[in-house]
């Protein structure tokens, strides 16, 4: 499924995907359409622009992943809306690509995301690194076990991704298998997503408890 | 999205007047009660008590009517001011008709007493100060005309009345101007926010089109590939501009420090950062950005004009790490030392030396097939 409010872009992406033999089960121009059509068509992969009429790309990501945990969300955004990208990833998106990427890169990203891989751009890796450092400095950090942390290896891998190395190059440099590199990258995201969910649940519980008083 | 248009300056100033007229309404009530109490207390002394009661009745009715009339801007015309002053003067002039000789002889208070003051203050609030002084003068003349002879206290009252009219008129004018200025500023701020929002929407649209042209152009090849490449460059430049704009809007790092991310060159390189500003003292940030530019310049010269390069900025709290990496063939081990021995200090001097001047360290990682990587670690302050 392709979600973008610019018809021109939507068509271009659809054409590329269909030309490569992938099936586009639905398209949508707004967040609302996206949610309704995703429920009806159950796409494997959703290619999502973050700047769409409400609900926002971040909210759509969260709802899609909640409805169907097997759906893969690939964010395709034009201007580097940095905070939004990070929020979308925390909400459950597993891939991020800027719109200036070539169609070959887009197809590769869609295929890899469909297989369960994580598609990281150097920009996203930088954001995730920054987010972990922010969490480590934050007031919650002293609380201990609740705050997600990166292992040394994960930090190393993320930094290499942020410096523009491909998974293959990283595997070579660290003498690891390609799969292991992918696992490290996925773990960094999974921990952030889990933390995000825990925070939401905690927030909901606190609100609920407060109401009883 | 509906945008709050901000208050209309004229309406805001009218609102100020309405508030002042309401305060004046309270004053009218207070002086009315005072006038009623005073006159009823010396009721026995009046020569025509029935006429006095009629006059007091007029005061009560007029107080109610005029307070209501002044409450709406559209009713505040010149006739209302004139009528208000006229009633006050009329009541003042009726004083000799009801007061006994003895009362007039001992300079007893007039029938309306202080009740006449709000009529003058209304002019001060709603009209020009010259008109307010005129109203005060008219009332003063009326007051003098009913006195057998002017005593010191009468002159004192006249002086106070003129003074109050002038001061209130001046204060109201100042307050009105201030409120108008504030309302105008609020409007401009709202308009500015709206312009920014529109600019962002327009920029996003332009970015989308440029990215599409780049993509289609590259696919089409030939001369279109050149168009695509140009579109790509413009897209990257505009995106950097939009992001820089967002930074300016979001945070004012202040205190002589600047956001390092804003100083780094963007297009056509991939710059990754922590997603929030990396504030540094301005001179240090500028020097570090210059070193990064030197690294990128080196990439252009040794790897290629269009060679890709990645810049990673990490904020470690006490220090800042900037990594510049390219996909070039890499520098064989010992090559830099060799260059130094030969006296060609280019890279080493401009990068290592400048970073050392900042109290930091520049590390070079280079391996065949992995490109070249400069890691610049610089203390923040």
Give the tens place of pLDDT for each residue, B102-143. Answer: 777 776 788 888 899 999 999 999 888 889 999 999 999 988
Give the pLDDT confidence of A135-176 residue by residue, as tens digits. 777 665 444 556 777 788 888 888 888 888 887 888 888 888
Q: Are residues B179 and B260 in the same domain?
A: no
**CATH number for the domain harbouring residue A157:** 1.10.10.10
Give the model's pLDDT for residue B3: 46
Which of the residues B196, B215, B243, B249 would you substitute to probe the A interface, choosing the one with the greatest number of A C-beta atoms within 10 Å? B215
Segments forming the whole domain that contains residue A87: 2-119
Helix axes B49-69 and B9-41, enclosed angle (nearest 10): 170
Give the pLDDT confidence of B182-198 residue by residue, as tens digits. 888 888 888 887 777 77
In whole angstroms, what separates CA B316 from the centre of its chain? 36
Query: For chain B, what is the domain count?
Result: 2
* Mean pLDDT, residues B84-91 taken together: 92
Q: How confident is the model at residue B81 (pLDDT cuts 50, 70, 90)?
A: very high
Q: Is a pLDDT exceeding 80 seen at residue B316?
A: yes
* Mean pLDDT, residues A53-67 taken together: 82
Give the model's pLDDT for residue B246: 57
Last residue of a domain, one of B164, B185, B206: B185
pTM over 0.80: no
Give the pLDDT confidence of B258-284 residue by residue, as tens digits. 888 777 776 677 788 887 788 888 888
Give the model's pLDDT for residue B22: 92
Alpha-carbon span A108 to B82, nearest angstrom: 85
Residue with tokens 């001992």: B106
Q: Are residues A98 and A145 in the same domain?
A: no
Give the model's pLDDT for residue B244: 64
Residue B26: inside a domain = yes
Residue B66: inside a domain = yes
Q: Are residues A94 and A79 in the same domain?
A: yes
- Taking the alpha carbons of A182, A183, A184, A190 in that order, is the dihedral positive or negative? positive
Contacts of A7 (CB under 8 A, 6+ apart): A29
DSSP assignment of B26-37 equals: HHHHHHHHHHHH
Residue B228: inside a domain = no
Provide the ipTM.
0.74
* Mean pLDDT, residues B147-157 taken together: 77
Longest dimension (CA), chain A: 60
Residue B29: inside a domain = yes
Q: What is the average pLDDT value for chain B, to the nearest integer?
A: 81
- Burial string for B249-277 (b: 16+ CB within 10 Å, else e) reads eeeebeeebbbbbbbbebbbbbbbbbbbb
Q: Are residues B68 and B181 in the same domain?
A: yes
* Mean pLDDT, residues A69-83 taken together: 76
Q: Is a pLDDT exceeding 70 seen at residue B348?
A: no
Alpha-carbon span B320 to B280, nearest angstrom: 9
Give me the residue from B212, B314, B317 closest to A9, CB to CB. Answer: B212
Which residue has better confidence, B26 or B342? B26
Q: Are residues B33 and B129 in the same domain?
A: yes
Residue B226: inside a domain = no
Residue B266, classed as helix, strand or coil, is coil
Which residue has better confidence, B170 or B247? B170
Q: Are residues A163 and A145 in the same domain?
A: yes
Give the model's pLDDT for residue B343: 45
Last residue of a domain, one of A119, A148, A167: A119
- CA distances B273 to A86, A125, B168, B261, B296, Å, are 12, 9, 59, 7, 17
CB contact under 8 Å between B274 and A172, yes or no, is no
Give the model's pLDDT for residue B252: 44
* Mean pLDDT, residues B217-224 taken together: 80
Give the model's pLDDT for residue B30: 94
Give the model's pLDDT for residue B63: 93
Residue among A137, A123, A133 at smallest CA distance from A154: A133
Q: Are A84 and A48 in contact (CB under 8 A)?
A: no
Give the model's pLDDT for residue B344: 44
Interface of A with B in 48-107 (CB under 8 A): 51, 78-80, 82-83, 86, 98-100, 102-103
Q: Are residues A109 and A174 in the same domain?
A: no
- Burial string for A111-128 (b: 16+ CB within 10 Å, else e) reads ebbeeebbbbbbbbbbbb
Residue among B184, B69, B65, B58 at smallest CA distance from B126: B69
* Mean pLDDT, residues A64-75 taken together: 84
Q: Are strands A2-3 and B270-272 parallel, antiparallel or unpaired?
A: unpaired
**CATH number for the domain harbouring residue A114:** 3.40.50.2300
CB contact under 8 Å between B208 and A164, yes or no, is no
Q: How confident is the model at residue B331 (pLDDT cuts 50, 70, 90)?
A: low
Residue B327: inside a domain = yes
Q: Are residues A160 and A202 in the same domain?
A: yes
Segments forming the whole domain that contains residue B98: 9-185
Give me the residue from A12, A80, A86 closest to B212, CB to CB. Answer: A12
Interface of A with B in 167-206 (CB under 8 A): 169, 172-173
Give me the residue from A51, A78, A122 closest to B310, CB to CB. Answer: A122
């Amino acid at each position: 499924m392709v979600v973008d409010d610019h018809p021109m872009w939507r068509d271009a992406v659809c054409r590329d995907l269909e030309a490569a033999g992938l099936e586009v089960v639905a398209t949508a121009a707004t967040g609302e359409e996206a949610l309704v059509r995703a429920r009806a068509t159950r796409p494997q992969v959703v290619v999502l622009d973050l700047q769409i009429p409400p609900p926002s790309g971040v909210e759509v990501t969260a709802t899609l992943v909640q409805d169907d945990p097997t759906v893969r969300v690939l964010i395709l955004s034009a201007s580097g809306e940095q905070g939004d990208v990070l929020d979308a990833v925390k909400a459950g998106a597993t891939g991020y690509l800027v719109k200036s990427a070539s169609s070959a890169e887009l197809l590769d990203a869609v295929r890899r995301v469909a297989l369960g891989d994580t598609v990281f751009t150097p920009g996203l890796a930088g954001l995730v690194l920054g987010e972990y450092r922010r969490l480590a400095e934050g007031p919650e950090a002293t609380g201990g076990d609740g705050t997600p942390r990166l292992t040394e290896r994960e930090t190393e891998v993320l930094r290499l991704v942020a410096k523009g190395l491909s998974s293959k190059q990283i595997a070579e440099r660290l003498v690891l298998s390609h799969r292991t590199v992918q696992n490290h990258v996925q773990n960094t995201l999974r921990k952030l997503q889990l933390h995000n969910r825990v925070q939401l649940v905690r927030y909901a519980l606190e609100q609920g408890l407060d109401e009883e008083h | 999205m509906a945008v709050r248009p901000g208050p209309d300056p004229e309406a805001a100033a009218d609102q100020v007047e309405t508030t002042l007229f309401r305060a004046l309404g309270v004053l009218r009530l207070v002086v009315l009660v005072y006038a009623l109490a005073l006159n009823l207390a010396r009721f026995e002394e009046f020569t025509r008590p029935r006429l006095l009661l009629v006059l007091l009745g007029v005061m009560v009715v007029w107080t109610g009517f005029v307070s209501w009339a002044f409450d709406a801007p559209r009713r505040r015309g010149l006739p209302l001011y004139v009528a208000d002053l006229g009633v006050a003067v009329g009541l003042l002039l009726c004083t000799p008709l009801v007061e006994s000789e003895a009362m007039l002889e001992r300079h007893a208070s007039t029938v309306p007493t202080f009740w006449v003051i709000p009529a003058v203050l209304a002019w001060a609030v709603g009209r020009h100060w010259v008109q307010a002084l005129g109203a005060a003068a008219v009332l003063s003349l009326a007051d003098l005309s009913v006195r057998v002879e002017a005593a010191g206290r009468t002159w004192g009252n006249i002086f106070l009345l003129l003074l109050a009219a002038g001061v209130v008129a001046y204060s109201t004018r100042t307050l009105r101007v201030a409120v108008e200025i504030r309302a105008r500023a609020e409007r401009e701020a709202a308009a500015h926010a709206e312009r920014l929002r529109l600019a962002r929407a327009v920029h996003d649209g332009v970015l989308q089109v440029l990215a599409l042209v780049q993509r289609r152009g590259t696919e089409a090849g030939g001369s279109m590939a050149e168009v695509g490449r140009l579109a790509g460059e413009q897209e990257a430049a505009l995106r950097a501009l939009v992001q820089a704009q967002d930074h300016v809007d979001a945070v004012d790092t202040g205190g002589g420090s600047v956001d390092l991310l804003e100083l780094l060159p963007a297009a056509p390189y991939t710059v990754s950062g922590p997603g929030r500003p990396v504030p540094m003292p301005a001179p240090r940030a500028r020097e570090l950005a210059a070193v990064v530019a030197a690294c990128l310049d080196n990439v252009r010269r040794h790897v290629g004009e269009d060679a890709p390069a990645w810049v990673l900025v990490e904020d470690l709290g006490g220090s800042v790490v900037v990594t510049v990496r390219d996909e070039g063939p890499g520098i064989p081990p010992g090559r830099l030392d060799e260059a130094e021995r030969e006296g060609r200090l280019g890279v080493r001097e401009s990068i290592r030396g400048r970073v050392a001047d900042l109290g930091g360290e520049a590390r070079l990682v280079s391996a065949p097939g992995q490109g070249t990587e400069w890691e610049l670690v610089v203390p923040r302050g």
